[in-house]
Amino acid sequence: MTFSLFESPKPIVGCSLLKGAADNHSHILFGLDDGVKKAEESLSILSWLEEQGLQELWLTPHVMEDVPNTSEAIKARFAELSAMYKGPIRLRLAAEYMMDTLFRERLEKRDLLLHGEDRVLVETSILAPPIGFYDLLDEIMSAGYRPLLAHPERYRYMSSKDYARLHSKGVLMQLNLPAVTGYYGRDAAIRARYLLDKGWYAMTGSDCHRRHVIIHQYEEKRVLKSRLLGKLRPIMEPREFYDV
């Protein structure tokens, strides 16, 4: 199988993909997880994203057994950043939940920061699914929420049958945009292209953790084929402009 994702050098920012777009997954809310540590870096990233024309940014800090952020602490930090940031990007708040024991407890208590009206941004280990993965997805939906699975192209244990099963269950899937440029490696890029071709992605995000990393990801001289650009642009729009 020939891997021919790249054409003549041109960075993502040169394709105007971020203009008017929404970033649905980031770790820019400072001081809460393995993402940005200081407010100054959060503001610097926001300034750079303004230059690219981003319209909406979801701040989605990790919540997991190793990073037991509370909803109250996340909301308080969001209020701090919102007070400091005076730019045009619309800031939205949710959280990225590891599907572990802590998540089950929060689900039972309905103590979740939702991604929109009813979406819950969830993730698993890159290497293996949680015990009872599909049962837990059913529990999420039975509670009246819709699972939004972060970066499925990065899960090495998933096959095409897994993706088809997720799609048939109504699980939404969020693409890490750098995956389509090969940033996470060849396998993740192939998986991302497969899911794009199937039309199974609902939205995209940067999964940004550091300023220098996102700039490298988006300014690195790689270009997406026009066919893929056409598939990406509709799923990069802010939520109020389209349904999933």
Question: Which residues are CB-contacts of 233 (< 8 A; sequence separation ≥ 6)?
Answer: 17
How far is it, in rounded angstroms, from Cα 122 to Cα 118? 13
Q: What is the pLDDT of residue 241?
A: 47
Q: What's at 25, amino acid-wise? A: H
Phi, psi of 147 (to 5 degrees): -65, 135
Strand partners, 175: 204
Domains of the chain: 12-241 (3.20.20.140)
**Percent above pLDDT 90 for the chain:** 85
Burial-class residue 220 by CB neighbours within 10 Å (0-12, 13-18, 19+): middle
**pLDDT value for 224:** 72
Q: Which residues of the chain have pLDDT under 70?
A: 1-10, 221, 223, 240-244
Query: How much is the pLDDT for 228?
Result: 84
Q: Which residue from 59, 84, 54 is spatially nearest to 74, judged by alpha carbons?
A: 59
- Cα radius of gyration (the chain): 17
Which residue from 230, 222, 166, 220 is spatially nearest to 196, judged by alpha carbons? 230
* C-beta separation of 174 from 136 below 8 A: no
pLDDT tens digit string along 12-43?
Answer: 888 889 999 999 999 999 999 999 999 999 99
CA atoms within 13 A on the CB side of 48: 17
The Cα 11–Cα 19 span in angstroms is 14
Distance (Å, whole) CA 170 – CA 119: 11
pLDDT of residue 240: 60
